[in-house]
């Protein structure tokens, strides 16, 4: 088939509403049509990016995470949204540490009825996060196939990844908050009227400044540092992130030597933020992101601490090691055959936890 013939064939599909790509098989001399539905087309035609490489890898090889676009605050003040029972839906994924935080806090505080929840498929596709886990691959409440649809509904010109967590207004179908930095704090404070009677105070007023300060450290030197190492495009960028990460893990190991939680005996928002990275460390970050100086189980205090948290229902019930392995190894590992390792054996997370020796 000549080049002109191929162009004629391709022209047949050029204006089709159902075509995303025109694939040419030169061995057979055929143009293969790839059909997409209107929902895929909405994502393809938008400005949404579906992986980190498009905007977040810098010229020096470092990874700079995109900012959060939707930061609507909840409360009774000016320009704040009134928290309403049943109005908002939390979209999260078992692979994602940023959204895992919100899922844990929602359960710890007993907000399951006040804030409904939807879960995305752990492997991010070319359209971004999808609802393949649901019947007909549609979120049953929002009635969308892809999370990006809620982003486009909120801002047709949104230019970035459609990330989780995303808090969506059920009445409009629009994302109102994707700010993982503060979303758990909103649940802890603004949604207090809907919390269960015995909900823990994860963000006590007398510790808020200290919690906020520690959370900044955890984000920059632990939570995001693993990604800076994993997405680095230069040896220097990788080693800088690697060294920063393990220096802070050593510091945390020492901090937890004689106390149960990061702030003594009180479970706080900071513990949730550290846990979600630790839960993914040996199964994902160590092998996939090459953060391999030590495994989590090589840190006695951090390992005890992580298991102590895991054995509490809100942490255990939202932690799916199979999804974590599948998501990271199939999405980030340059793994075209989507092979998933059998190990590590996660049954060790159920081993008894020794009490902390106080001094």
With the C-alpha atoms ordered 140, 145, 148, 153, is the resulting torsion angle positive or negative?
A: negative
User: Which tokens go with 250?
Assistant: 């050593």
Residue 74's nearest CA partner among 204, 169, 197 is 169
* Catalytic site residue from 88, 121, 151, 227: 227
Sheet containing 174-177: order of strands: 116-119, 88-92, 166-169, 174-177
- Using the 8-state DSSP alphabet, how is residue 346 labeled? G
Beta strands 88-92 and 116-119: pairing type?
parallel
The residue written with tokens 């498929």 in the block is: 121
Instruction: Tell me the C-alpha distance between 330 and 310, whole Å.
Output: 25
Q: Is 22 a catalytic residue?
A: no
Q: Is 227 a catalytic residue?
A: yes
CA atoms within 13 A on the CB side of 270: 23
Tell me if 161 is assigned to a ligand binding site: yes
Tell me if 251 is assigned to a ligand binding site: no
Q: Between 269-280 and 300-310, two packed helices, what is the crossing angle to 10 degrees?
A: 110
Tell me if 163 is assigned to a ligand binding site: yes
* Catalytic site residue from 88, 96, 286, 305: 96
Residues with active-site annotation = 96, 227
Binding-site residues for glutathione, in ranges, read 129, 161-164
């Amino acid at each position: 088939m000549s080049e002109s013939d191929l162009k004629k064939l391709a022209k047949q599909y050029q204006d089709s509403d159902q075509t995303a790509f025109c694939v040419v098989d030169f061995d057979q001399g055929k143009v293969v049509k790839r059909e997409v539905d209107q929902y895929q087309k909405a994502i393809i035609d938008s400005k949404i990016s579906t992986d980190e490489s498009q905007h977040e890898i810098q010229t020096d090889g470092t990874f700079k995470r995109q900012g959060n676009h939707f930061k609507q605050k909840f409360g009774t003040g000016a320009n704040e949204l009134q928290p309403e029972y049943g109005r908002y839906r939390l979209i999260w994924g078992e692979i994602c540490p940023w959204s895992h935080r919100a899922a844990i806090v929602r359960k710890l505080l007993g907000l399951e009825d006040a804030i409904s929840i939807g879960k995305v498929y752990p492997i991010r596709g070319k359209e971004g996060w999808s609802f393949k886990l649901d019947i007909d691959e549609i979120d049953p409440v929002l009635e969308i196939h892809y999370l990006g649809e809620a982003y486009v509904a909120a801002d047709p010109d949104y230019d970035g990844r459609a990330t989780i967590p995303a808090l969506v207004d059920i009445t409009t179908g629009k994302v109102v908050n994707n700010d993982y930095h503060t979303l758990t704090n909103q649940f802890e404070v603004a949604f207090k009227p809907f919390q269960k009677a015995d909900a823990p105070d994860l963000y006590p007023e007398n510790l808020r400044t200290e919690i906020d300060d520690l959370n900044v450290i955890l984000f920059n030197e632990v939570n995001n540092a693993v990604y800076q190492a994993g997405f680095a495009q230069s040896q220097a960028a990788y080693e800088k992130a690697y060294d920063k990460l393990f220096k802070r893990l050593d510091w945390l190991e020492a901090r937890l030597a004689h106390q149960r939680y990061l702030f003594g005996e009180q479970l706080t928002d900071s513990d949730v933020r550290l846990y979600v990275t630790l839960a993914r460390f040996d199964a994902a970050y160590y092998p996939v992101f090459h953060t391999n100086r030590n495994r989590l189980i090589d840190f006695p205090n951090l390992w005890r601490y992580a298991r102590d948290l895991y054995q509490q229902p809100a942490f255990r019930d939202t932690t799916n090691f199979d999804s974590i392995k599948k998501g990271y190894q199939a999405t980030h590992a340059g793994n075209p055959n989507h092979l998933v390792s059998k190990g590590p054996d996660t049954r060790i997370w159920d081993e008894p936890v020794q009490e902390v020796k106080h001094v």
